[in-house]
Amino acid sequence: MSTRSLAIPSKIRTRGFEEKFSRLLQLADVELNGKRPWDIRVHDPRFYARVFADGALGLGESYMDEWWDCEQVDEFVHRVLWARLNTTIKPWKEALDRIRATLLNLQDQARAYDVGRRHYDIGNALYERMLDRRMLYSCGYWKNATTLDEAQEAKLDLVCRKLRLAPGTRVLDIGCGWGGAARFVAERYHVDVVGITVSEQQASHARELCRGLPVEIHLQDYRAIQGRFDRAYSLGMFEHVGHKNYGTYMQVVSEHLNEEGIFVLQTVGANDTDTTGNLWAERYIFPNSMLPSARQIAVAIEGRFVLEDWQNFGPDYDTTLMHWFKNFNQSWETLKSTYDDRFYRMWKYYLLSFAGSFRARHNQLWQIVLSPRGGPTRYDAPR
């Protein structure tokens, strides 16, 4: 008997994957080809095998390839992650990526500028239309805010109050973005700011935005920081550091912060400790990036900082991302002369799937206050 006669017909294999996938979706109250906004509609039967083979990477790529659609991608992802369906599929590519991340330092100095070139330098016009008026590309603080501008200003105000700024203070902004935070801090609190970024377009925009203010902007990696500072903050940059460099990062900050200094770190956080991130996001959105766990951060600060405060407002990132998507979507008629339809689907999937992950509490958003030695009096963090 030939091996060909034993082969399983492709239609039978596809039907088997489809039935298995449908049963999994039922656990999340998602119906295959259903009519509710969070139900997915499959256009290409190869989709099922691709997801089982490639996991998160296959799910995202097949959406970009128009193999499936969903009216509310954010709610679909929320339900899938809330039901922990992501833990039931273990593709071999994810195992290989973990081995690669264990053997190599994917966020070393040679790769430090990759995320700048491939993500932040893809066009300031995109970010100008998607973000708030200050172009802040990190989670807003929605406790008392109703608009994106209000939420981002409330976040900056919260960070500044935690830093206990005073006129003449020398402040370090690690991952300064387009300069919105540095300008806010310099104008409102009359302090000197040094900002660093690995993005050429961010650095150029930030220098122009902060012209005339006591603000310096440097195109450099955090490992090249020079000088000493009274205060430091980092808003949404720690996700690019990588597990092999967390200790180095904390050591660098501690070495450049005065003994009475304060450091505020804002970062997306993972519930579980890992050595790699979402394969789709790493390939298409944030190269060489991953999310730190609480354990990894705690190990990195031990012996280097005193932990003063740890605040979690992860659900606020869901709201922030949905506002970003609304702005992006409404601006697409203007942006599509620069970006193609595949980019639109990629960016839509990025913003909405990330929103769903925060809604499911799969990801967190932390603001952590650290001091080199701890002050003689109690630190009461504002909220």
pLDDT tens, position by position, 114-136: 999 999 999 999 999 999 999 99
**What stretch of H or E contains 365?**
strand 363-371
Q: Tokens 């990801």 map to which residue?
A: 363
* Res 8 pLDDT > 50: no
In a domain, 107, yes or no: no
- Closest by CA position to 274, among listed 87, 41, 79: 87
How far apart are the C-alpha atoms of 260 and 250, rounded to whole Å?
16
The pLDDT, as a whole number, for residue 263 is: 98
Domain assignment present for residue 381? The answer is no
CATH no. for residue 177? 3.40.50.150
- The count of structural domains within the chain is 2
Shared domain for 182 and 33, answered yes or no, is no
Segment 320-331 shows an average pLDDT of: 98
Q: Are residues 257 and 309 in the same domain?
A: yes
With CA atoms as reference, report the closest residue to 235 among 327, 331, 131. 131
Structural domain range at position 118: 112-371
The residues, ordered by sequence, that sit 6+ positions from 144 with a Cβ below 8 Å of its Cβ are 150, 154
Task: Tell me, yes or no, whether 139 and 185 share the same domain.
Answer: yes
Of 60, 76, 102, the position where a domain reaches its end is: 102
pLDDT band of 9, cuts 50, 70, 90? very low
Q: Looking at the structure, tell me whether residues 228 and 261 fall in a common domain.
A: yes
Whether 98 and 162 map to the same domain: the answer is no
Are residues 83 and 163 both part of a single domain? no
Confidence of residue 1 (pLDDT cuts 50, 70, 90): very low
CB atoms within 10 A of CB 212: 6
Q: What pLDDT, on the 0 to 100 scale, is given for residue 99?
A: 67
Longest dimension (CA), the chain: 86
Higher pLDDT, 284 or 100: 284
370 and 303 Cβ atoms separated by less than 8 Å: no
Give, in order, the Cα–Cα distances in Å from 338 to each of 9, 125, 200, 327, 333: 44, 10, 19, 16, 10
Dump pLDDT digits (tens) for 55-109: 999 999 999 999 999 999 999 999 999 999 998 887 766 766 666 766 677 687 8
**Packing angle of the helix pair 92-103, 56-64 (nearest 10 deg):** 110
Is residue 2's pLDDT more than 50?
no
Beta strands in 271-321 (DSSP E): 306-312
Residue 126 in any domain: the answer is yes
Does residue 377 lie in a domain region? Answer: no
User: Interhelix angle for 341-359 vs 73-82, to 10°?
Assistant: 40
Are residue 33 and residue 117 in the same domain, yes or no?
A: no
What pLDDT is recorded for position 105?
A: 76
- Tens digit of each residue's pLDDT (9 = 90 or more) over 293-315: 999 999 999 999 999 999 999 99
pLDDT for 110 equals: 80
- Whether 379 maps to a domain, the answer reads no
In a domain, 328, yes or no: yes
The reply to whether 192 and 51 lie within a common domain is no
Q: Are residues 52 and 77 in the same domain?
A: yes
The per-residue pLDDT for 4 is 40
pLDDT value for 277: 85
Q: CA separation (Å) from 316 to 156, 177, 297?
A: 14, 20, 21
Q: What is the pLDDT of residue 103?
A: 66
pLDDT at 5: 39
Give 184's contacts (C-beta < 8 A, 6+ positions apart): 134, 153, 156, 160
Pick the last residue of a domain from 77, 102, 127: 102
Same domain, 29 and 121: no
Tell me if 383 is assigned to some domain: no
The answer to whether residues 130 and 20 belong to one domain is no
Sign of the alpha-carbon torsion through 143, 147, 151, 156: negative
**Helices 46-54 + 10-26 axis angle, to 10:** 70
Instruction: Note whether 133 and 244 are same-domain residues.
Output: yes
Please say which residue of 39, 68, 102 terminates a domain. Answer: 102
C-alpha–C-alpha distance, residues 117 and 349, integer Å = 21
